[in-house]
Amino acid sequence: MKKRGMILVMMIGIFGLANAQVGINTEAPAVTLDVVVNSSTSGNATIAEGVLIPRISLSILKIKDNAYGNNQNGTLVYVNDITGTTTAKTVNIKGEGFYYYDAKAGVWKTLETGSGSTINIMDNTENITNITINGKPIYSFKGSFNSDGIKTEYPLSNFPLGVTGIYKVTIYNTTYNLYTNTVYSLDATGTLITGSPSISVVYPSGTYNYIVEYLK
């Protein structure tokens, strides 16, 4: 009888948690889950405070592809290893960091941190930015080309395939104090053209860096 009573108390407690706000280190939670720093350890330099989001590798997230659907919309994870290939759902995972699942789009998206955030763009690697257009992410690719002081067309080596539209092209050279994204075009073959039908731009001899931002 005593055992049955304990089970009943446990069931009541679980039911209460399922139908109320939950507080950690507080008896008056302000939202569904309210976590407050433990006052008894706040002055202890050896005890870390915070909430750890589930950490998962790209390879494991790939295995669980079919587990994410409409009911998992908004799920947040921290990808801590990007070794391996991507799927249609994980195609946006290009680096370690926070990602959330967008069920409507059927893809994981990087957690946007605002227009003032810093994006680390690696050379000769496709990166995903925190910019979206109509729900689609903007990708970026950084590289360099050599100008001979004559040509206005430069084939870009290792440029990604599947580009459907150009968002912006930036060309810069610190030696010449040059930074521009006003006169450019990029054709279907991945050739950068430093000019337009009415304007031709020839850069002095030297090495120039570029960042192309685009849709896929």
Q: Within a domain: residue 46?
A: no
Tally the domains of the chain. Answer: 2
Domain with 167, as residue range(s), is: 138-215
> Are residues 149 and 206 both part of a single domain?
yes
What pLDDT is stored for residue 101 in this prediction?
93
> Are residues 148 and 207 both part of a single domain?
yes
> Are residues 144 and 105 both part of a single domain?
no
Q: Which two tokens stand for residue 108?
A: 């994981």
Q: Within a domain: residue 119?
A: no
> Are residues 142 and 193 both part of a single domain?
yes
The answer to whether residue 37 scores a pLDDT higher than 70 is yes
The answer to whether residue 73 scores a pLDDT higher than 90 is yes
> Are residues 198 and 142 both part of a single domain?
yes
> Are residues 196 and 147 both part of a single domain?
yes
> Are residues 152 and 91 both part of a single domain?
no
Q: Within a domain: residue 27?
A: no
What pLDDT is stored for residue 56 in this prediction?
96
Q: Within a domain: residue 201?
A: yes
Q: Within a domain: residue 35?
A: no
For 41-102, what is the HEC assignment?
A: CCCCCCCCCCCCCCEEEHHHHHHCHHHCCHHHCCCEEEEEECCCCCCCCCCCCCCCEEEEEE
More confident residue, 198 or 129: 129
Place of tokens 């998962």: 56
Q: Within a domain: residue 89?
A: yes
Q: Within a domain: residue 42?
A: no
Q: Within a domain: residue 87?
A: yes
The answer to whether residue 159 scores a pLDDT higher than 90 is no
**Domain termination residue (choose one: 65, 93, 111):** 111
What pLDDT is stored for residue 121 in this prediction?
58
